[in-house]
Structure 1
Amino acid sequence: MLNAEIIWSAQEFLQQEALSGWLVYDYLSSNPVFKKIITPSGHVTRPCILFIPPTGSASLLCHHVDAGKFATESEKSSPLSNLQLHIYSHRTSFIESLKAILSGSSTVAMEYSPLNQLPRVSRVDAGTIELIQTLGIAVTSSENLMQYATQRWSQEQLQGHIKTAHKLGEIVNEAFDFIEERLSTSDANSGKPGSVNEFDIAEYIRIRFKEESLESPDGPIVSVNAHCSDPHYEPSLESSSPIKMGDWILIDLWARNSEVPDSIYADITWTAYVGDKVPEAQQKVFDIVISARDSALQYLKDSFLAGQQIQGWQVDTVARDYISGYGYADHFTHRLGHSINNTVHGEAVNLDNFETHDTRHIIPGIGFSIEPGIYLPEFGVRSEIDAYMSAQGPYATSPIQTEIVLIQPK
């Protein structure tokens, strides 16, 4: 299936930027963008190239053994979704067909990032880039084109994401209630207090996902005390810390609607304390983290009202500078946020001036997380919300934690 909406959006962008076309190269699923635009009917074993010009029909170059997986696409009558199929068998025919498809082109966009500045964009191997350049054609990064054409959410996707985000908010609070219930229940025979561990809570959340028609290939993160210092810690059945009075708990959960194709993920992180009063150390770090989170979102809102177009790295800098001002710069060890799409980490702009320097603009239709964290040897704090840039400005799409949840076993 060829995604006509993506083709149209890409051509709109190509015309605005005066580019000769978008050349999408894929070999053995090395480029996820390819299958967002065109989905073969079966397994494809040889290199493929999809070329989208500023106007007219797209062209697909594929090997003879794979042509049957795309044959029906070339038979469609719509001028927008029609596909010109070019078939090669040997290396020489591949090069000659490529020359014909690119005839008249001067600069094409590809999934390439200079110096691998944005690894999420850099999907094409250096040799293929060199091949295109030997044909006398300049290659530029598709980073903004790809974002515009493939990563913007539809209104249906946005509404589905918001519903999922609020389900996650309900589930994480149910998980905290479940901890309280388990710790409040005494064993009928021994009279000993009830017990629960990290893995138990992860399993509880996975069960709730199934009940709510949510899916995720991994996670959730359920961590206690020092385990919270590992941003991507996941408990296992064999190795899982018990949860008890005086413990600090971090839960990071992400999922999407399992019943809707191309549904959008939601991704949130909340923290809790088992006891009647949060210790000063945890409270202090929590307050800094949520203030950094809120300052990032407010910066986006203020910039939008001022008519300023913001790049991903700028938002990271706002939150990072806030945390650095309290002396915790070395303990905020990851980017501020990531793109969200039908994979939990999408292909659009990240809020990042730490792991990378993401200069892509935060454009309307894009969703992302905002999740500053401070990780100390004894405990870690992260607060994660989801946000969306609409045509009317940015706003949070998920529940926002403002206070540490108190778990108080009876």
Structure 2
Amino acid sequence: MNWNHVQSLLRQHKIDAWLVYDFRGSNSVFSLLLPGKRVTTRRAALLIPAHGTPTLLCQGLDSNQFEHLQGVQKEHYLGWRDLHAWLSNKLGSSKRVAMEYAPGCTLPVVSIVDAGIVDLVRAIGVEVVSSADVLQMCVATWSDAALETHMKASREVARIKDDAFDYIRASLKKGERITEYMVQQRIVENFRAAGLEVGEPPIVAANGHAGDPHFEVSASNPSVIVPGDWILIDLWSRYPGFENIYSDITWVGYCTKNASDTVPTKHREVFETVRASRDAAVNLAKQRWNAKQSVQGWELDDASRNVIVHAGFERFVKHRTGHSLSPGPRVHGLGVNLDNLETHDTREVLPGLGYTIEPGIYMPELGVRLEINVYTDAAKGPVITSCVQDEVVMC
């Protein structure tokens, strides 16, 4: 971690110190700032002042879990009185201290620490502010290497997506039985063959199942895919490595009944609405960049969803427009989300950050989600890093 960069961000935001508190792995940000495999049993705190050397406080029993720290001074405590005294001593001269806290829990993704530790810090006489803006620039930005491996993973994920639809098409043409589960497992096998991570299995959803954004394929009783079916495939993976970024896409297809069959009118209307919704977010991001104006996550969400609302499909919306893509263990990152529905995300979309754009319309009989990945390049602005679907795949 570049502590000078972190401290520069603190000064830009007029924050005197950043207190990153953890109890037995409760704070994922703590682990991102101090990476490494460890198992702790007591409270610990990383204090990053706007000026000076960062300090880690840990209980003596956990001291061996924090060996070989670079650029960080390590101190120990024994009991709760020591911990309280340390906090008072280190924070007593501060006015504004950042923590993983969001006023009113407006941003659950960064509202991590418990109310008790916030009470304790406030009792010292300092103002506790959210670390959200600083946090995303410290742990959610992509390195050059991460961008490169993401682009490589995106090409593989696109190829595997094409193979999945080809598999459906070929099976139906031959009259062979094919199920959601069979397609899902083919994708998983292709991930392994390509050297990509295999975590949560991809979504392969037919017809009404596509109307459930988080549908889980049944291994024991999967739906058989037949001509006339509507198919949604959501797949995500990355090359192994904590710093690497997932490629996360969703495409849809229609299984034709004969050579002259076309996409049903209703399905096409929904598809075109979602496509326009996706493109509205992309266009706003690019417009703001070209105008040298900032854009916040909630604004991109509104731009996208307004298209769906104006088309009369508002009641079929079930989630925000997009989520952060960042280093770490999860496909949903710690940076800005495209969200003014589930939360009001006022974080700026800044250079070095990535995210998905994935509006969806979900009906009882079908669902459409079109998901792409975007990276904000410091020189070029918003760059789409994934494949983009503009027409329904015909199977």
| Both proteins in one fold, TM over 0.5 | yes
Matched, 1:405 2:393: yes
Deviation string, structure 1 residues 9-59 (Cα, Å, up to 9, x no partner): 211101212211110011121111101111355311111100001122111
- SS state of the match for residue 21, structure 2? strand
Q: Which residue of 2 aligns with 1:106?
A: 95
Q: Distance in 2 between matches of 1:261 and 1:351?
A: 23
Q: Which residue of 2 aligns with 1:77?
A: none
Q: Is the 8 A contact 2:192 2:198 kept in 1?
A: no
Give the partner amino acid of 2:381. Answer: G
Q: Which residue of 1 aligns with 2:332?
A: 345
Q: Which residue of 2 aligns with 1:335?
A: 320
Q: Which residue of 1 aligns with 2:51?
A: 55
- SS state of the match for residue 240, structure 1? coil
Q: Distance in 2 between matches of 1:82 and 1:339?
A: 28
- SS state of the match for residue 68, structure 2? helix
Which of 362, 387, 395 is matched with 2:383 structurally?
395
Q: Which residue of 1 aligns with 2:110?
A: 121
- SS state of the match for residue 43, structure 1? coil
Which of 219, 230, 252 is matched with 2:234 structurally?
252
Q: Which residue of 2 aligns with 1:366?
A: 353
- SS state of the match for residue 213, structure 1? coil
Range with greater deviation from structure 2 (14-23 or 318-327)? 14-23
Q: Is the 8 A contact 1:331 1:374 kept in 2?
A: yes
Matched, 1:158 2:140: no
The Cα shift of 1:214 comes to 0.8
Matched, 1:292 2:277: yes
Give the partner amino acid of 2:392. Answer: I
- Please report the TM-score for the alignment, with normalisation by the length of structure 1: 0.92
Deviation string, structure 1 residues 256-313 (Cα, Å, up to 9, x no partner): 102x442111100000000031111111110110011011101110111112100000
Matched, 1:271 2:252: yes
Q: Is the 8 A contact 2:92 2:126 kept in 1?
A: no
Deviation string, structure 1 residues 335-374 (Cα, Å, up to 9, x no partner): 0000011321000000001000000000000000000110
- SS state of the match for residue 94, structure 1? helix
With over 3 angstroms needed to count, the CA separation of the structure-2 counterparts of 1:41 and 1:334, relative to structure 1, is closer
Which of 135, 141, 145 is matched with 2:134 structurally?
145
Give the partner amino acid of 1:89. Answer: L
- SS state of the match for residue 375, structure 2? strand
Give the partner amino acid of 1:91. Answer: W
Q: Is the 8 A contact 1:9 1:148 kept in 2?
A: no
Q: Which residue of 1 aligns with 2:344?
A: 357
Q: Distance in 1 between matches of 2:103 and 2:173?
A: 57
Give the partner amino acid of 1:53. Answer: P
User: Identity rate of aligned residues, in percent?
Assistant: 40
Give 1:139-288 correspondences, 5 Å limit.
139-185=128-174, 193-258=175-240, 260-275=241-256, 276-288=261-273
Q: Which residue of 1 aligns with 2:366?
A: 379
Matched, 1:37 2:33: yes
Deviation string, structure 1 residues 129-172 (Cα, Å, up to 9, x no partner): 00000111110000000011111101111121111112111111
Provide the alpha-carbon RMSD of the alignment: 1.2
Aligned length: 388
Matched, 1:305 2:290: yes
